[in-house]
Amino acid sequence: MVKEILLGIAIAFTIFAALLGINVAPVVFLIGAFLLLSYIMENKGFYKTGKSIINPSSEVSFEDIGGQNTAISELKEALDFVVNREKIAQMGIRPIKGILLVGPPGTGKTLLAKAAAKYTNSSFIATSGSEFIEMYAGVGAQRVRHLFERARNLAKKEGKNSAIIFIDEIDILGTKRGAHESHHEYDQTLNQLLVEMDGIKEEEEVNILVIGATNRPDLLDPALLRPGRFDRQVLVDLPDKNGRLQILKIHTKNKPLGEDVNLEEIAESTFGFSGAHLENLCNEAAILALREGSSFISQRHFKEAIDKVILGERIDRKPSEEEIYRIAVHEAGHAIVGEKINPGSVAVVTIVPRGRALGFVRQKEKDDLLIYTKEELEKNIMVALGGTVAEVLLLGGRSTGSANDFEQAVDIAKKIVFTGLSNLGVVSKEDISKEKVSDEINRIVKDLEEEVTKILKENIEKLKEVAEILKREETISGDKLREILSRKGVLEEVSA
């Protein structure tokens, strides 16, 4: 409307100037250029977001999503306000305007948004926060307006009374105002989103619900999170063991599995995997079976796929004989210490290089822990130090292969200090001096290194034997390792 008024004034001024004999050719040229530019911007997609806006042809239901039972339950509760629109209106309840899905990458936030569209029988439009940020002033705000307009029009076209707008990576669009001092376009775009969400009313013909997804909720502007905008926050976390088992069952439905496949064992061995990781795991296992010409996927394909997902593809460069033995000693140290302090914890030991790792010990967790005791954290440090202590005992010195182990040990020791589990007691991270923290970390690591040294010295012959077997066979399964150690009398707990 404003543009039309300004255009009318410009035309009237041009005619008046022409009647006075003034040369109006430059003015006419500028008006024509303005009209052409406006036409291009409005009709050629300048204000429209990119190709990431979709109206998916294939529908996803909550039954297709595994490992997120709690998130699905919370989401359904919020979506029932959309489904039972007339009923909640009678109770005087305002409609929910926004739902924020918070969780690590790959946990299924986009799938949940698509399933929400099917559950509520809503039109669905998806986009990314990065689609709204441009160098041109006002473009991002115009794109926000266009997005909401398009959602309403799509719902009318499809004969539906509700539409869901899904904005992935909403932290890019909704970053705290003032964070970008030299670029006010971010703030203008966020302001327009706030205005559009405030404009969602109960009596509208089409009910708009905004679903945002982020793994950095701390970056979002407080105005976006207040009640009346994003009314609900749903945590979409990494799945636990039962959740991973559900996801594995979903992604193996269309795959030929061998009789030896034990999905529960695979779920136990994939602690920390997201849904995307597990989907990739099943795909990689099928690829490995195809490469071998096998007509079905066996358990060993899954186990190798786990290693590939964690560490990457095998590398072609072969270490020297001396390096191979050092790596074997190092991994044998990790494995023996791990089995000594956590019987039955080792899943596989290998010196086959993958990615940046020249060898590794994969451990399995019987239970997914949410909190850790001081003893459990100390055990993790001891396992991390097992490799370098083994090198010192058998080879007389350390190597750069222990760098990641030391980083891991120091990080865990810091956790012990800052959670009040060290000799320093409860400390303030902001007030305590770096020297005190460093001294306490050194003490923790040194004391535990002495315990690891004692364990490996008592089993020095067994350490040599496991290292020799690793050097010869390259990979030892956890069961085979326990059989070797039990036979040699290293672990009374295991043999019992």
What string of H, E and C letters represents the secondary structure of 391-402?
HHHHHCCCCHHH
DSSP 132-199: G--SSTTHHHHHHHHHHHHHHHHHHHTT-SEEEEEEETHHHHSBPTTSSTT-THHHHHHHHHHHHHHT
Same domain, 327 and 442: yes
Asked whether the beta carbons of 349 and 481 are under 8 A apart, the reply is yes
**259-273, 275-289, 309-323: which range is least confident on average?**
309-323
Establish if 51 belongs to a structural domain.
no
How confident is the model over 135-147, as pLDDT tens digits?
A: 545 577 788 888 8
Tokens encoding 471: 């050097």
CATH number (domain holding residue 341): 1.20.58.760
**316-320, 335-339, 429-433: which range is least confident on average?**
316-320
Same domain, 215 and 77: yes
332 is in which domain, residue-wise?
Answer: 321-495
Which residue, of 264, 281, 311, is where some domain finishes? 311
Q: How many other C-beta atoms can be found within 10 angstroms of the C-beta atom of residue 426?
A: 9
State the sign of the Cα–Cα–Cα–Cα dihedral 153, 154, 156, 161.
negative
Establish if 23 belongs to a structural domain.
yes
Establish if 328 belongs to a structural domain.
yes
Angle of helix 69-83 relative to helix 109-120, nearest 10 degrees, comes to 30
Same domain, 288 and 207: no
Same domain, 379 and 264: no
Helix (H) or strand (E) holding 231: strand 230-235
The pLDDT-based confidence of 430 (bands split at 50, 70, 90) is confident
pLDDT of res. 51:
47
Asked whether the beta carbons of 29 and 8 are under 8 A apart, the reply is no
**47-61, 177-191, 460-474: which range is least confident on average?**
47-61
**74-83, 111-120, 360-369, 418-427: which range is least confident on average?**
360-369
For the chain, the 3-state helix, strand and coil shares in percent, each to the nearest 5, are 55, 10, 30
Helix (H) or strand (E) holding 481: helix 478-487
Q: Pick the residue with more confidence: 368 or 235?
A: 235
User: In terms of Cα–Cα distance, which of 23, 27, 120 is closest to 81?
Assistant: 120
**Total structural domains in the chain?**
4
Hunting for tokens 């869901």 — which residue is that?
A: 164
d(CA 75, CA 195): 24
Same domain, 71 and 217: yes
How deeply is 375 buried, as exposed, middle or buried, from its count of CB atoms within 10 A (0-12, 13-18, 19+)? exposed
Catalytic member of 196, 331, 391, 449: 331
**43-52, 113-122, 225-234, 434-443: which range is least confident on average?**
43-52
Hunting for tokens 């959602």 — which residue is that?
A: 151
CA distances from 206 to 36, 150, 232, 266, 477 (A): 33, 11, 20, 46, 59
Same domain, 332 and 215: no
Residue 163, beta-bridge partner list: 123, 208
d(CA 230, CA 169): 15
pLDDT of res. 494:
36
How deeply is 483 buried, as exposed, middle or buried, from its count of CB atoms within 10 A (0-12, 13-18, 19+)? middle
331 catalytic? Reply is: yes
Amino acid identity for residue 43 in this structure? N
pTM higher than 0.75 for the full model?
no
Tokens encoding 219: 């970056």
pLDDT of res. 377:
92
pLDDT of res. 443:
94
How deeply is 103 buried, as exposed, middle or buried, from its count of CB atoms within 10 A (0-12, 13-18, 19+)? buried
Which of 224-228, 247-251, 360-364 reaches the highest mean pLDDT? Answer: 247-251
Same domain, 352 and 381: yes
469 Cβ contact partners less than 8 Å away, ≥ 6 residues apart: 476, 484
CA distances from 14 to 37, 98, 358 (A): 19, 48, 77
State the sign of the Cα–Cα–Cα–Cα dihedral 82, 87, 90, 91.
negative
DSSP 314: B
Same domain, 143 and 290: no
Same domain, 295 and 363: no
Same domain, 225 and 273: no
How confident is the model over 439-471, as pLDDT tens digits?
A: 999 999 999 999 999 999 888 888 888 888 888
User: Terminal CA-to-CA distance of the chain, rounded, Å?
Assistant: 84
